[in-house]
Each structure stands twice: as C-alpha cells, then as structure tokens.
Amino acid sequence: MNVHQAWEGYAQSCCANAHNGDRCAACKVRLHSICAALDTRDLRELDALAQPFCFKPKQTLFVESEAVDAVYTVTEGVVRFYRIFPDGRRQILGFALPGDFIGLSLKERHAFSADAVGPVSVCRFPRTSFQRLTEEKPHLLRRLQEFTAHELTAAQQQITLLGRFTAEVKITSFLIAMRDRWSRLNGPSATVSLPMGRQDIADFLGLTIETVSRVFARLAREKQIVNLPNGVTLVDVSGLEARAANVAAPPDFASAGLT
C-alpha cells in the first residue's frame, strides 16, 4: 500500500482550491458519484471524512487479499482492477472512471488489486467511518446498493461478452461501452479516450495483445475507426454498433442523477 507515498508526493496539490468543509460541494464529479445521494447538511459530514489523494501512473491503490481500510471515489483519471495468476497472466475486471466508487462490497479484504492507469485523483474515506455513515443515512446505503447493482449489470455484460463472442465483437463492444461512459461524464463525442494500453484491453477482454493490435489495425484499415495517440475516433458508429451486436448496454444509469 503506497498511500503514504501518494500523500507525501502529491496531496498538497490536490483540491487545493477549496476550504475544508466545502471541498465536496465543489467536487466536479459529485453528481456522478455516490455522494449525489446526500443533501447539503449530510455532505458536510462526509466532507469531514474525505481525504483527497493523488496517485502517479501505475501506482498501487491496494492489493488483493489485503485488509480493506478505505473506500474511494475516483475524481480524476482511470483506475484498473485486476487479479494476477501464478503463471503471470492477469485478468482485468474493470476500469473505474471519474465518479466511480471503489469498495462497493464493504468486505473485510480486497477481492482484487487496483492501480492507477495514468495520474489519478481520488477522494478517500476510511472504511469504518464510511460504513457508520451508511448505517446512519439510508439514502447513502440505497445509493450504494444502486451502484453495486449497476456494477453487477456491467459484470454480467462482460460475462456475456467473454463467453460467446469473437475478438472483433469484444473490441467493438468495448469501444462503444467506453464511448458511452465518457459521454455520460463529458457529453457526447465520437472520440474515445483510451488511457489504458493494448495489454490492458487484452487482459480485460480475455485476448492477447497481438489479437487486440490486429483488430484495431483491421478496424482502422476498414475505416471504422481512426487510431489516435491515446484513444480512437469512431468513424462509422452504426457500422461498429452492428458489429458489437446485441450486447448493447441496458437502458441506462445516467437517469440516476440525484437518486
């Protein structure tokens, strides 16, 4: 756990422009985060628990089977969740984007490891304090339940994708899902930021880096996408959606807005 390192290296510059007690109110991802369940009064309580942190690229947030001592809301950057197997292979379980919550399960020990893909800022809450808050504020618990249910739906989506589809379908579905997630945060755009590398995408989709690379190359050759330094532009969206097939995401979560 490199939290102290993170703190010492970065914390001074995090959220520097808000006074204690107002930081949450000023939070840019609040309405996308679990904190949207709280009113102004409750928010100050949460604010008292909040510890802003930053992590450098590749820095570890926590490691599988470690005791859970905190939960987090991602405020900037992307976090990857993963497991490593004895033979060195890795399965990425998901990516947390700004507004996403880390620690839904409120379990004693981490079920996976997490580290920063690029530079990441988080809002950290000590587990016991946060848990007490969920016991006092049913709204917050309800919101936690909604987030967990949403994650479960996403996981079932992923099961579907991994179980039955070809490399091309997996990758086009991934691109469209990422577009939808960024769109929810930043508004619609055909350009999709992909801060994670090819190996990350491969380990997420159960493919090898070579297969991922080949499919990206083919999609670009067929003018479905344009490859950019850290992402892609979706050129033929309807063509891609057709290839992604009926693994479309369910109605939506954007509607959740304020509970």
Site of interaction with DNA (CB under 7 A):
166-168, 197-199, 206-214, 216-217, 227, 229
83 binds, among a second copy, DNA, none (CB under 5 to 8 A by kind): a second copy
Q: Does 239 bind a second copy (CB under 8 A)?
A: no
By CB under 8 A, residue 254 contacts a second copy:
no
CB 121 within 8 Å of CB 54: yes
Question: What is the distance between the alpha carbons of residues 235 and 224, in angstroms, rounded to a whole number?
Answer: 5
Q: How far apart are CA 102 and CA 68, in angstroms?
A: 11
The nearest distance, CB 169 to DNA, in angstroms, is 8
Whose CA is closest to 164, among 205, 199, 202? 205
The owner of tokens 């942190």 is 53
Rg over alpha carbons for the chain, rounded to the nearest Å, is 19
Nearer to DNA, 33 or 211 (CB): 211
Number of residues that bind a second copy (CB under 8 A): 43
Measured over the CA atoms of residue 210, residue 216, residue 221 and residue 222, the dihedral's sign is: positive
Out of 28, 58, 132, 164, name the contact with a second copy by CB under 8 A.
164
Please report, as ranges, the residues that interact with a second copy according to CB under 8 A.
83, 85-86, 89, 91, 93, 104-109, 111-112, 134-135, 138, 141-142, 144-146, 148-153, 155-156, 158-160, 162-164, 203, 205-206, 245-246, 250-251
